[in-house]
Structure 1
Amino acid sequence: GLMNSKLTKWKSILALLLLLAMEFYMIVLRSPQSCAILASIDDGFYYPKIAFNFSRSGVLTYDNVTRTNGFHPLWEAFLIPVFGVVKNPNTALKIVYILISVIIFTCAYIFL
């Protein structure tokens, strides 16, 4: 009945929190590059570099020579402030992965 469904929901929330804690643990202890390999594929590697360069120069560029527009603007807009505030690109990348994890787990919680 109702008590059983509440218990099931709490078990699901506890499982989500445990997974989130494990995710944070992995992100903090692993190098950002190994996190990137696990979390990103293909073009996902370009976005942090463009965000880093934009936060330093104000130009959307991957190589600091050629301007680019080959990216998803909303995702880049999410990354640029992080790389603008956090000066160390490895730390910024870890923060991005933590924010992604929080967003994913929040969505999972909402749809429990």
Structure 2
Amino acid sequence: MIDFIYQTLTKFGYTHPLHPTLTHVPIGMVIGAFIFALVALIFHRTNFAQTARHCAIFALIATVPTAILGILDWQHFFSGAILFPIKMKLVLAGILIIFLMLAVIFGFFYRNVIEKQQIDYD
């Protein structure tokens, strides 16, 4: 199954791993979520907090296919060899997913706190 995907892509001239191309999406969304959350806390703006929540949700959604493609690339290019960098990437991907889940849950539960702070400052 994995070889079929890579052979099909090779017929179209794409011989690169799939994982690195998708990795930019969660990284960018995590950075965006952090910056928007920071601006929301400093300036007490709910619009930025809402955007931070949306970035965190999108990062969480994009992390799953990124991790799956990472595992597929690992199986295809490294034949599933358990190397130290692979172990670290698996651990760090798990930690990222946990932190993103916490950020999404925190964003939903504490949305009203930020809105109340904005009302107090207006």
State TM-score, norm by structure 2.
Answer: 0.33
Higher helix share: 2
Query: Which is greater in Rg?
Result: 2
State TM-score, norm by structure 1.
Answer: 0.35
